[in-house]
Amino acid sequence: MHEYSIVQSLLDSCEEHARQNDSTKVTKVVVKIGVLSGVEPDLLQTAFDTFKEKTVCDGAEFLINHQKVVIECLSCQEQSTLEKNEFLCPKCESNQVKVIDGEDMFLMSLEME
């Protein structure tokens, strides 16, 4: 499970942000996970809950925003959010598309005390 190493990096980042902002406690962590990121949200939640103890994130709320796949059609330049993993432009049905969101995981925000 690579979610454990992701959570360790996330906790390290939270520690660094807290230190930079003279904070001793993180109360909320918000991440965005793309459906194509390869990160399993339930496993990430479990890993965060397990490893946050005795860190600045101990007791922090962990919110996950799920990002659908967003494409740009190279034929008609239309941007679309896909409801299914069918990589066709909904406007012109071209398969000449570029994924512009939904492949990554980002730390979106932290609330600190």
- What is the per-residue pLDDT across 16-50, written as a single tens digit (0 to 9) for each? 999 999 999 999 999 999 999 999 999 999 999 99
Q: What is the pTM of this model?
A: 0.87
How far, rounded to the nearest angstrom, does the alpha carbon of residue 82 sit from its chain's CA centroid?
A: 17
| pLDDT exceeds cutoff 80 at 6 | yes
